[in-house]
Amino acid sequence: MPELPEVETIVNDLRKKILNEKIINIEVRLEKIVKNSKEEFVSILKNNSFKKITRRAKFLIFELAKGDYFLVIHLRMTGQLIYQKEKEIIAGGHSQEKDLLELPNKYSHVIFSFANNGKLFFNDLRQFAMAKIFTKETLNQYLSTYGIEPFDKNFSQDFLKKLLKNKKTNIKAFLLNQKYVVGIGNIYADEILFASLVNPKRNTSSLNDDEIKNLYNSIKKILQKAIKERGTTFNNYVDADGNKGGFLKFLKVYQKEGEFCQNCKQEKIKKIRLAGRGTSYCEKCQK
Give kind and range of the element (H or E) at residue 223.
helix 209-228
59 Cβ contact list (under 8 Å, min separation 6) = 7, 72, 73, 74, 143
Tabulate helix, strand, coil % of the chain (nearest 5).
30, 25, 45
Amino acid at 223: L
Q: Report yes or no: 26 and 119 within 8 Å, Cβ to Cβ.
A: no
> Which sequence positions are flagged as catalytic?
2-3, 58, 277
- Which letter, b or e, does each residue of 11-28 get, where b requires 16 or more Cβ atoms within 10 Å of its Cβ? bebbeebbeebebeebeb
| C-alpha span between 74 and 93 (Å, rounded) | 10
Strands of the sheet with 23-28, listed across from one edge: 23-28, 108-114, 119-124, 79-85, 88-93
Give kind and range of the element (H or E) at residue 26.
strand 23-28
- Which letter, b or e, does each residue of 161-184 get, where b requires 16 or more Cβ atoms within 10 Å of its Cβ? eebbeeeeebbbbbbbbeebbbbb
Give kind and range of the element (H or E) at residue 38.
helix 38-45
